[in-house]
Amino acid sequence: MNGQSSLSPEVRWRRLRPLGYLIIIGGVFGTVTADTVAPSSDEILARIESEANRRHVLLKEYSGSRQYTLQNSRFGKRAAVDVLMNYRQVGGERYTVLTRSGSNSLNGVIDKVLASETAASLPPESALHQISSANYRVRLLGTEVAAGRSCYVLELTPKIKSRYLIAGKAWVDPDSYGVVRLEGQFAASSSVLIGAPSISEEFIEVQGFWLPGHVRSITSSLLLGPTQMDILFSNYQLSQVPQVPVAPVPNSAPTPAVAAMARAPQKVTRIAPIVMPAPPACAANAPRSARNNSEVPATKGIRAASGTMAVTTRGMAAPTAKLAADAKAA
């Protein structure tokens, strides 16, 4: 007899109890994992597009402050421009320069950036940099914390080489499906002398919309070396289109208003009785042979009229004209 079989049933049960707990806990975690399966990459991309469309419909106008800073470390030059940006859906972005300082050449570069952003805010160019199925192939990498929340991480692969598209990653809020963070490298460069810029963009939530908060872009060339641009966004003022409230639809039980109407006395609609005509009938007695020629022949039968009550009478029909004696008396 081995040592295991010599143990009492109570001792064996105590030894196996922790294993049973692990099996139960594992089953619970398995159930939770199965119930919280993340959507597929294509589903996330479709919801990102839906959120972008919602913002486009509701956010007709907004404004904000921006500070553009451009610095080149090789030559030790720097420039800064503060602008007021006003966006209207029909006219795109418009910039008013408030202050500028620093290198004139770098200020000229910032002016070109502003002109490029104005053109990119209008169709058809605005559709070229959207995160959409027309521009990207995506792959879900997992989840990471960004902007203080757990986000889906998508790998972005541009379908074409474009200076508007980014090869990199996007962090997506699982509740609103707004893009919280972007990081990568532009798929193409605007110049053969400058490499494709790298970019990182952080978004902030403003009244239910994820809008740019900070953008950093770094380019490098053999002549100028690395050049860094930072854009800070602040003081957003939104003008939203009011949403039409939609009445909630009950899942199972009726709403209180419906339940109250159901308990109130109801009028019952009944089928009204149909009036049936009397069946046709012949005269009770055959007409006599001695009759006046002016008399109307006796009725031999009755034809029922639709929707009326048929009535039969006995005897002779009433005269249709006055007799001669009656005419003289009159």
What's residue 129's pLDDT?
A: 86
What's residue 220's pLDDT?
A: 85
Residue whose structure tokens are 């889906």: 152
Question: Which parts of the chain have pLDDT scores under 50?
Answer: 1, 11, 13, 16-35, 244-262, 268-270, 308, 310-313
Domain architecture of the chain: domains with CATH: 45-233 (2.50.20)
- 155-187 pLDDT per residue, tens: 999 999 888 899 999 999 999 999 999 999 998
What's residue 18's pLDDT?
A: 43
Give the Cα separation of 287 and 140 in Å (integer).
104
- 268-286 pLDDT per residue, tens: 444 555 555 666 666 666 6
**What backbone phi and psi angles, to 5 degrees, belong to 67?**
-125, 115
Contacts of 40 (CB under 8 A, 6+ apart): 140
Give the Cα separation of 316 and 46 in Å (integer).
92
217: its two tokens: 């872009």
What's residue 86's pLDDT?
A: 96
What's residue 78's pLDDT?
A: 95
Tally of CA atoms within 13 A in the half-sphere of 85 that contains its CB: 24
Instruction: Give the pTM.
Output: 0.62
Contacts of 136 (CB under 8 A, 6+ apart): 45, 156, 157, 158, 159, 165
